[in-house]
Amino acid sequence: MSRLQQTEGLTEEQRELIKLVREFVDEQIIPVATDLEHKDEYPQAIVDGMKEMGIFGLMIPEEYGGLGESLLTYALCVEEISRGWMSVSGIINTHFIVAYMLLQHGTEEQKQRYLPRMATGEIRGAFSMSEPGCGSDVSAIKTKAVREDDDWVINGQKMWLTNGGSANLVAVLVKTDTGADSVYRNMTTFLIEKASGFGETAQGVTVPGKIEKMGYKGVDTTELVFEGHRTSSAQILGGEPGRGFYQMMDGVEVGRVNVAARGCGVARRAFELAVAYAQQRETFGKKIVDHQAVLFRLADMAVKVEASHEMMVKAARKKDSGERNDLEAGMAKYLASENCARVVEDAFRIHGGYGYSKEYEIERLYREAPMLLIGEGTADIQRMIIGRRLVEDYKLKG
């Protein structure tokens, strides 16, 4: 058991669950991850295993068939899963953002309809804000829902949907001109049901295919195209238009804790690989771990791994307490993703030329880590959030 990333104050149930996930990662994910990633193959056997463990219902309350665990428990499980293969954590991240949004903002009818089947993994969630031309500027979205009699008709193009192909329920943020004086109050989240797969997956809903990526393979990342898709007001999250932006931002805070947890898991795996390799590789007549430069690099890596974990745990606990956690979530996401990139690069350097070979796991991590720098808001977006919240807290009086 590593001394790094230990969490104080966990219950026996939490410790046992995390131990179970860690064993699953060691036995079922790590041995096959690199091969599946190089093939860009969807990890169906791993997903089936997570279904059996109840992972898809981890944060869904028991009354809806889930395990009823906290965001902290979920984040610690994500940390372990990402240590094995970050793409697997992506498969459950958007699922839980949608489940969380339903739980916090959905009508009781929507909760009863979707959450029990989400808990078993029968329904798999994805969420969609971004578009080809807006990036981090959510106010610039163009996909629009227009009222026609008792229906809504949606047209537009969404981008960067994790699980866009495999999911069969997508929470989609669109413009709805409800007459509000703010662009953000003229946005609505619709719950779009579709078939899994690619092509036309529902009336007026097309998933063109997978977007080819540098890393973060295995999990499907897609566009989502709406051409006259008709839906009803019953599919508006919470039942009322104009609340979508705020519902999405609430979900994104959960997503940012998830990305921080991913960064912690990937960084720890990179450290494990580096410290093991440093004790095996010899140069100039001794193990490279005995060279002071390598030892210092390992020390710096471990400090970054530990600091990121502590910040992530704080952000998760803040959200679990019901308090506003945009500052802590932003800090955790920013710190963990930046530290992860540096730790992975240091591990890559310790591996030397072998780190550039696809035979070594660090090559995969080196391509995966950059995604964390942009997922759920870029580093600069996090710094803006952090800075604004700090100015609020330290505003001069008088």
Name the amino acid, one letter, at 112: Q
b vs e for 251-263, b when ≥16 Cβ sit within 10 Å of the residue's Cβ? bbbbbbbbbbbbb
Q: At what angle do helices 71-84 and 292-320 cross, to 10 degrees?
A: 150
d(CA 220, CA 90): 9
Where in the sequence numbering do the catalytic residues fall? 376
CB atoms within 10 A of CB 15: 12
3-state secondary structure of 323: coil
Q: Are 271 and 343 in contact (CB under 8 A)?
A: yes
The DSSP bridge partners found for residue 189 are 173
Per-residue DSSP letter, 381: H
Spatial CA neighbour of 367 closest among 386, 387, 391, 348: 348
d(CA 258, CA 86): 11
Instruction: Pull the structure tokens for residue 207.
Output: 């998933």
Q: Which residue has the tokens 């969420």?
A: 127
Instruction: Pull the structure tokens for residue 209.
Output: 């295919």
